[in-house]
Amino acid sequence: MTAPAAVTIDRLSKHFGPVRAVDDLSFTVRPGAVTGFLGPNGAGKTTTLRMLLGLVRPTSGRALIGDTPYLELRQPAQTVGASLEASAFHPGRSGLDHLRMFAPQVGVPESRCHELLELVGLDQAKKRRVGGYSMGMRQRLALAYAMLGDPAVVILDEPANGLDPQGIVWLRQLLRAFADEGKTVLVSSHVLSEVQSTVDDVVIIAKGRLVHESSLGDLRRLAAPSVEVLSPTPQRVVELAQAQQWRAEPQHDGLVVLHNADAAQVGAAAFAAGIELHRLADVGVGLEDVFLRLTGEPTQEVAV
Ligand SMILES: Nc1ncnc2c1ncn2[C@@H]1O[C@H](COP(=O)(O)OP(=O)(O)OP(=O)(O)O)[C@@H](O)[C@H]1O
């Protein structure tokens, strides 16, 4: 593996005619961690990754591996491993043939192809034509392809697509092992819940722009708890909230939603203040809600 390198996206833009697919985007991805690159469909993730890999020319800005644009890397396959399109394999060739053809370019012996096919769980299927592979098997092959040169930077576009639950656990462990080795791992997804047990850091974009960049822990802290309170005296609940510095959102028929508080705190404070409550329930804001709020996606469009 070459020396670890960070990925830097610096004021990157790509316009397709009137469409601002990526719009003045900046963020960094550090070595030794798994970073989730998140955003709803059409947010600009793939376009960003394609620019990072020199496949699309930016309208403006820079995308760097370490301090070098991809196209100027001296040993690209040993530096960056990417799987952008798991469906781009030739259907008539076997998984093994795909790796074998790529191996001389990467400068690795054929034994490395077998080693990787075993690592991704395709040992039994390596001589079968890729046309007969499932989506999950293609994802595994794409991963083997990306890892052939033991790159320091690993970029995977929606790698969990098509994987079954066991496959997702396997992928999570593999990405963790890569990060533990010091690799820079960038994984895109349009579903936060799919990667929330895998990633250390998150970069969230919407409509081509950065909306959030932090550790997953910091994102979790944004998912503050909320409580639903039903009272015959909602005004007193609002006053209590003001005194306690909770944000209150009065609803209808005596219902008030309090933010940054949990049911135990509200119950105790209402009891101490002698406020009658008819209902008290935690309605915590989950991570996915925070993601939807940040990306401006209406909740009802979320598939469950
Ligand atoms: N070659 C192109 N020509 C015109 N518009 C494009 C092109 N490539 C992407 N776009 C547009 O740019 C925007 C961002 O697309 P992109 O594929 O980068 O998003 P994404 O976040 O990867 O989405 P998804 O999760 O659906 O893959 C979309 O509006 C898309 O239609």
For residue 25 and ligand 1, the question of a CB distance below 6 A is answered with: no
Domain of 47, CATH number, reads 3.40.50.300
For residue 13 and ligand 1, the question of a CB distance below 6 A is answered with: no
For residue 76 and ligand 1, the question of a CB distance below 6 A is answered with: no
- pTM of full prediction above 0.90: no
Q: Is 186 in the same domain as 242?
A: no
pLDDT tens for each residue of 12-40 = 999 999 999 999 999 999 999 999 999 99
Number of domains in the chain: 2
Domain of 269, CATH number, reads 3.30.70
Q: What's the ipTM?
A: 0.95
Q: Is position 166 within any domain?
A: yes
CA angle 121, 124, 128 (to 5 degrees): 110
Cβ-based neighbour number of residue 268 at 10 Å:
10
Q: Is 149 in the same domain as 123?
A: yes
For residue 35 and ligand 1, the question of a CB distance below 6 A is answered with: no
Contacts with 162 (C-beta within 8 Å, 6 or more apart), sequence order: 86, 134, 135, 136, 138, 139
- Both tokens assigned to 202: 């998150």
Q: Which domain holds residue 61?
A: 7-214
Residue nearest to atom 18 of ligand 1 (CA): 44
The SS3 assignment for 44 reads coil
pLDDT tens for each residue of 225-283 = 789 999 999 999 999 999 999 999 999 889 999 988 889 999 999 999 999 999 999 88
